[in-house]
Amino acid sequence: MRGTQQEQIELSAEGACSAFGSKISMFKIIDTVGDTQPPEIPSVSTEDHTSSSEVFEESQNSKPDNCDDGGSSEDYDDFEAHALYTSVDIAKDLRMWSLKHKIKHVALKDLLGILNKRTILRLPKDPRSLLHTPSGDLHITNIKGGQYWHYGFEVCIRDFFHDVKDDEEIYIKINIDGLPIFNSSKNEFWPIIFTIENLNPKPMIIGIYYGKGKPQDLGEFLSPLVAEFNTILKQGIKIGDYTIGVTLKCFVCDSPARSFIKGVANFNSQHGCHKCSIEGEYSHLSHTNYYPNKIYPKRTNDTFRNKEDEYHHKIDSPLLKLPINMIDAFPVADSLHLIDLGIVKRLLTGWRDGYFKNKMLKWPSKTTEELSSKMQSIKLPKELHRNIRGLDCLSFWKALEYRNFILYYGIVVLKGVLRIDVYEHFLILFCAVTICSTDNYKRFYDAATKLLNHFVHQYCKIYGEHYLTSNVHNLIHLTEDVINLGI
């Protein structure tokens, strides 16, 4: 399943958006600069936005204030060389420090002034030079509803493959999702991010949309991506004498974003299932569409492209121009939203607050308090880094806390608290999710499929058919995605 990757992707998107066009080097801390013997001067790379001559323009024209005029010319050259070498290193550290802590330019400018005046360092005077703020055209395009900046997939790949010694084949996963910038504004970033599954889990950014809400014109938003990939998927990327072959494996998105980029009905609408042609029905009890516990024909790439279910389609997505499977390449097996923030959160909230039709399942307040106390008394192993919070903080739990609950301690603390049939129903979910969370249990994937089908069937009996929401229904498609795409 894709939960961990999705979280990494969303967190990386926020960091990438704050830089918006800046290149970021590896962060490290250097506490001292006072070596008595200066090291050999390395060649200074000029591949970043700002050349070394621009960053350290003063170093060639001035002598440090604390340098003794009585020294020899050779000593002074060594001193200058050491100052330049050290300044290059410190500049990288300062750049990352200021980006990490969101230091304002006015404060950073004052700091640079102090360091240049009081130390041997030769740093740029202007924060924009230190941060490698691009001075040229960023190629920002005005599109309907906002602006779009396209950095490019090929540029990212050329940046990543500095030294290619053989032909490579890389497998790409793309994420597209919205990120609200402020609580008091509708303005959002919609970054397009990818990871190289078989080489590098660190997300890299292809482009960013900025505007009020999601992009209003899907064609304008996705066309640069589609045009670039149509060429790259056929020809690969030539770097020197070698070729990087590219396979676009899938798009990892949450349910609303998945529906948006595919140009189909909303995920919780009557014809919203991405994997089968089930028809939802509106429930006046749960005030949402629910999906009857029945078997419906699966969607295929051909039936999707031929629009055989006309009510499922809203607009023609630019992604139709890509040579991909429009069903298999869009997994619903996203543990972050489907399991952690979906099923597990819904169950815990329903038991605590009594959202289900069967009010007998609601915990008394005393039971909730006792369970919270029991959970917080658990001694976690060092592999689990987040402390357990009580059920009174349930609305503030992070996805990782829900994941730890379903995978580790939920089966322990719920025993004797839930009614026996409800507890056994929870155990079915625990077993299925555990199987699908690791490659070690591949031989049990068929069993996981049966367990999840049984879970959905029993969910209908225990909680009521009207609570078979999109998330619950998608459980029957989970193992199919895991088998096709991996965990």
pLDDT at 270 over 50: yes
How many CB atoms lie under 10 A from the CB of residue 176?
28
pLDDT at 240: 86
Does the pLDDT of residue 84 top 60, yes or no? no
Question: Above 70 in pLDDT, residue 16?
Answer: no
Q: How confident is the model at residue 67 (pLDDT cuts 50, 70, 90)?
A: very low
* Share above pLDDT 90 across residues of the chain, in percent, rounded to a whole number: 64
Contact 435, 448 (CB under 8 A): yes
What pLDDT score does 63 carry? 47
Please give the residue that has the higher pLDDT: either 436 or 121: 436
With vertex at residue 211, the alpha carbon angle to CA 205 and CA 213, rounded to the nearest 5 degrees, is 100
Convert the pLDDT of each residue in 193-202 to its tens digit. Answer: 999 999 877 8
Residue 163 has pLDDT above 90, yes or no: no
Say yes or no to pLDDT of 81 above 60: no
Q: What is the pLDDT of residue 50?
A: 44
For residues 395 and 151, give the distance between their C-alpha atoms in angstroms, rounded to a whole number: 37
User: Does the pLDDT value for residue 283 go beyond 60?
Assistant: yes
pLDDT at residue 35 in the model: 41
Query: If you search the block for the tokens 């020197």, which residue do you land on?
Result: 240
Read off the pLDDT of each residue in 190-195 and give the average, rounded to a whole number: 97
Look at 307 and 74; give whichever has higher pLDDT: 307
How far, rounded to the nearest angstrom, does the alpha carbon of residue 193 sit from its chain's CA centroid? 8
Between CA 190 and CA 218 the distance in angstroms is 12
Q: Among 85-89, 124-128, 190-194, 287-291, where is mean pLDDT lowest?
A: 85-89
- Examine the pLDDT at 140 and tell me if it is beyond 60: yes
Q: Which of the four pLDDT bands, split at 50, 70 and 90, describes residue 287? A: confident
If pLDDT is split at 50, 70 and 90, which confidence band does 5 have? low
Task: Give the pLDDT score at 48.
Answer: 44
Assess whether pLDDT exceeds 50 at residue 41.
Answer: no
Q: What is the mean pLDDT of residues 372-377?
A: 94
Q: How would residue 284 be classed by pLDDT, with cut points 50, 70 and 90?
A: confident
Whole-number pLDDT of residue 183: 82
| CA-CA-CA-CA torsion sign (118, 122, 125, 130) | negative
Q: Which helix (H) or strand (E) holds 247?
A: strand 242-251
* CA–CA gap between residue 334 and residue 3 (Å, rounded): 6
pLDDT in tens, 149-162: 999 999 999 988 87
68, pLDDT greater than 80: no
User: How confident is the model at residue 9, as a pLDDT?
Assistant: 46
Q: Is 83 or 40 the better-scoring residue by pLDDT?
A: 83
Distance CA 325, CA 321 (A): 11
With bands split at pLDDT 50, 70 and 90, how would you rate the model's confidence at 486? confident
CB 486, CB 440: distance < 8 Å: no
Distance in angstroms (rounded) separating the CA atoms of residues 263 and 315: 5
Tell me what pLDDT residue 286 has.
78
- pLDDT of 24 > 70? The answer is no
Angle between helices 478-485 and 445-463 (to 10 degrees): 160
Domain boundary assignment for the chain: 22-130, 140-321, 335-485
Question: Which amino acid type is present at position 366?
Answer: K
Q: Please say if the pLDDT value at position 237 is more than 50.
A: yes
- Among candidates 430, 18, 43, which has minimal Cα distance to 191? 18
Q: Which residues of 434-457 are buried (b: 16+ CB within 10 A; e: fewer)?
A: bbbbeeeeeebeeebbebbbebbe
Q: Quick one: pLDDT at residue 36?
A: 38
Mean pLDDT of 1-20: 48
Average pLDDT over the chain reads: 84
DSSP per residue over 100-147, as a string? HTT--HHHHHHHHHHHHHHSS----SSHHHHTT---S---EEEETTEE
pLDDT, average across residues 52-63: 43
pLDDT exceeds 50 at position 417: yes
Burial (CB count within 10 angstroms: exposed 0-12, middle 13-18, buried 19+), residue 80? buried
Of residues 381 and 85, which shows the higher confidence score?
381
**Averaged over 172-185, what is the pLDDT?**
91
Question: Quick check: 177 and 10 in contact, CB under 8 A?
Answer: yes
pLDDT in tens, 333-364: 989 999 999 999 999 999 999 888 777 889 99
pLDDT at 18: 44
pLDDT at 282: 92
How far is Cα 13 from Cα 205, in angstroms, rounded to an integer? 8
Whether the CB-CB separation of 375 and 410 falls below 8 Å is answered with no
State the Cα–Cα distance between residues 348 and 375, nearest whole angstrom: 13
Q: Enter the pTM of the model.
A: 0.75
Residue position matching structure tokens 């509708």:
186
